[in-house]
Structure 1
Amino acid sequence: MSELQVNKPIFPPIRACIFDVDGLLINSEDIYTEIYNNILHSYGKPSLPWSIKAKQQSRGRSGMLQLLDWAQLPISYDEWTAKVSAQYALFKDCKPLPGVSELLSNLSRSNTHIAIASSATTKTFAIKTSHLPFITSACPQECRVFDDDPAMSETKKKPMPDVFLLALGRINEHLGPGEGELKPEECLVFEDSVAGVEAGREGRG
């Protein structure tokens, strides 16, 4: 009896890696949870459950509004974000997740293009990573896309793929001599949130 032949998909070589930041490169999602719980507890509310955080994570204003709807706090969205911003100093203690330093180093040595596509703002990224130079040195400034990028808007946030496609576009704008344009299928997206994974998959077209 002959063995069944299984058609295996053939993937092109990976020429670029696009990274989310929070909860992926650094432990900042743990700190976000700490901040959210500090606010919730100050109003006598329970800690944030994962079922709610998973719906909020990486979804911008719409995700945060889902959290506030669950919490039923007597404050507005703007008041909530102000209370979160007041605790940003906690992000100065962010630590890299296991293996991140080695991964970025290996990718840099292999001449793989590296970009960042994050729902964080430029300001919070700086706070979270200013003491982690191996992250900022691995990814060129021109290949970073954040929530406050002029090309982003609320309608383009994850799970829409725009942030990853923008990052890919930035890579292609800064290719070296003789390098052919990168296609989405030649990029590997690293994500930790449900919305981010959905965005990465959508970006393949």
Structure 2
Amino acid sequence: MALPITHVIFDVDGLLLDSERLYDIINDSIMKEYGKTLSTDVKRKIMGKKETEVAKILIDEFELPITTEEFLQEDRKQQAVLLPNVELLPGAEKLVRHLHRHGVPIAVATGSSKRSMGLKTTRHKDLFDLFHHFVYSSDDPEVTCSKPAPDCFLLAARRFPDNPDSNRCLVLEDACNGVMAAHAAGMQCVWVPDPTQPQDGYREKATLTLDSLLQFKPEQFGLPPYDSEDGR
């Protein structure tokens, strides 16, 4: 059952931005160089992870004859081409602008680095400027463990000026690892799962599961409802 909250923490890839699809293209490209195919199960494992952890998981899972740094070099080269063109997902801009307009504190907690976020937000800087702060798990020394550990969400909450209790925070996520992290942090979670990923074993950890952010109703969590001024 949804309970009233005061602060909202957003994931980015696959929730606000259609970037998971681009990461799949990049990882598939690297895998093909070594005659490997990226499976759905492995994709689930790497969603929400730090960039170095993604590289290590893929190298280990597929026994790739390269170092983590070599993987990341190729990964970043392809990111520089693809990520600046990423599109917003349906309902993302409407929700972020609505919450900001109504004074609801919002932050981002992502497995990405500040560098990759800069690429992904090239066309959307005005929207991402509305967030109070960002936790970049790949860069932040205070994030000891990435999702499904709760570190990034707990840190995001602490960095709000009023340091809200976990039970006053709502997490919005697309990844299984993110749902588990929010649950471990003691926060409610709205899950918008990637339809290609398995959902068994995770739905009970989420407060609410939606097909799209377009279905999200802020008033279910005690937030101001949408009004006629909200855009797309």
Indicate conservation of the 8 Å contact 2:157/2:164, yes or no: yes
Could you say which structure has the greater relative contact order, defined with CA pairs below 8 angstroms and 6 or more residues apart? Answer: 1
What is the TM-score of this pair, normalised by structure 1?
0.83
1:113, 1:202 → 2: CA distance? 21
Whether 1:55 and 2:45 are equivalent positions in the alignment is yes
Summarize the Cα distance change of 1:27–1:160 in structure 2 as closer, same or farther, 3 Å threshold.
Answer: same
Matches of 1:102 and 1:68 in 2, distance apart? Answer: 39
- 1:22 touches 1:29 (CA, 8 Å); kept in 2? yes
> Structure 1 residue 28 and structure 2 residue 19: aligned?
yes
- 2:150 maps to 1:144: no
Alpha-carbon offset, residue 83 of structure 1: 0.9
- Corresponding position of 2:77: 86
SS class of match (2:129) = helix
Q: Does 1:110 align with 2:99?
A: no
- Which structure 2 residue ranges, 5 or more long, are not aligned? 188-232
Aligned to 2:179: 197
The Cα of 1:130 is off from its aligned counterpart by 2.2
* Deviations 1:95-142, CA, capped at 9 Å, x for gaps: 1001100011111122111001111011111110021024312202xx
Report the equivalent of 1:178.
Answer: none
Please tell me whether Structure 1 or Structure 2 has the larger radius of gyration of its CA atoms: 1
Percent identity between the aligned chains? 34
Provide the aligned length of Structure 1 versus Structure 2: 184
- The runs of 4+ residues in structure 1 deviating greater than 4 Å are none
Structure 1 gap segments, 5+ residues each = 1-8, 176-180
- Tell me how far apart the structure 2 counterparts of residues 70 and 157 of structure 1 sit (CA, whole Å): 18
Q: Which residue of 2 aligns with 1:132?
A: 124
Q: Distance in 2 between matches of 1:31 and 1:20?
A: 16
Once superposed, what is the RMSD of the aligned Cα atoms? 1.8
Please tell me whether residue 119 in structure 1 is matched to residue 101 in structure 2: no
- Match for residue 57 of structure 2 among 66, 78, 91: 66
1:41 aligns with 2:32: yes
What's 1:77 paired with? 68
